[in-house]
Amino acid sequence: MPSPGYFITVEGIDGSGKSTQARLLAERLSQEGELVTSVRDPGTTVLGERVRALLLEKSGSPPPDPFAEVALFLAARVQLLREVIDPALAKGALVVCDRYVDSTLVYQGAGRGLDQGGLLELHRLVGASRMPDLTLILDLDVKAARLRSDPALPLDRMEAEPTAYHERVRQGYLALAPRFPERVVVLPADLPPKELAESCWRVTRERLTARRAT
């Protein structure tokens, strides 16, 4: 049976505005009277926030092996599903998630060269095969995204990766649309924030209306 709730994820390269847009979308849905749960991946749970800090810190030590990196992200994701996402969806909530499985497909898949089919199979094996109902990918040129970062703030470990890595990630995101056309919508992220928020809202409203009409 389909879940009574609706699962929305917001994705994009660092600097695309995804966290801002996820927050604005959740606020708009709440204002429309929807029951909304906002989460971030990795994060939200105690375990997830600890894993997030571990993954993003620049310790000066050798970086984790790509498979170790995946394992950490996956541990945080499984906990987030069991503790927050699945219960919220079971209650009929709209869950708005800042990053989710597609981040692993592009950051560790397209970016690090791991097989995407194998990554999806790992999710299935650990019981984390739930996919979003709608994924909004905010697409932005890598150089433009990097210009948005505050030079006064230090880059985390993922943000500090070279431009070529982030370009592979961007192309990985764009390749998801034809692969998962039933749930993935790519939106240009070079719009002013209010216009982009309206685009996110329009797509979400249309998809949610269609879902509820079935």
Q: Which residues contact 127 (CB under 8 A, 6 or more apart)?
A: 78, 81
Residue 1, pLDDT > 60, answer: no
Q: What is the rounded CA–CA span in Å between residue 34 and residue 12?
A: 25
pLDDT tens digits along 57-71: 877 778 899 999 999
pLDDT of residue 155: 82
Per the listing, tokens 């094996």 go with: 125
pLDDT of residue 153: 77
Which letter, b or e, does each residue of 45-79 get, where b requires 16 or more Cβ atoms within 10 Å of its Cβ? Answer: bebbeebbeebeeeeeeeeeeeeebbebbbbbbbb
75 membership: H or E segment, kind and range: helix 66-80
pLDDT of residue 2: 60
For 210, the 3-state DSSP assignment is helix
Q: What is the rounded CA–CA span in Å between residue 206 and residue 48?
A: 32
pLDDT tens digits along 182-213: 999 999 999 999 999 999 999 999 999 999 99
In DSSP terms, 96 is beta-bridged to 8, 38
Instruction: Parse the chain into domains and list their residue ranges.
Output: 6-213
- Give the residue among 134, 145, 116 at the shortest CA–CA distance from 186: 134
Q: What is the rounded CA–CA span in Å between residue 47 and residue 137?
A: 26
Q: Which residues contact 79 (CB under 8 A, 6 or more apart)?
A: 45, 47, 48
pLDDT of residue 165: 96
pLDDT of residue 76: 98
Tell if the pTM clears 0.75, that is, is over it: yes
* Sign of the CA dihedral with 156 first, then 157, 159, and 163 last: positive
pLDDT tens digits along 108-163: 999 999 999 999 999 999 999 999 999 999 999 999 999 887 777 778 889 889 99
Fold classified for 6-213:
Rossmann fold (3.40.50)
> 43 — phi, psi (to 5°)?
140, -160
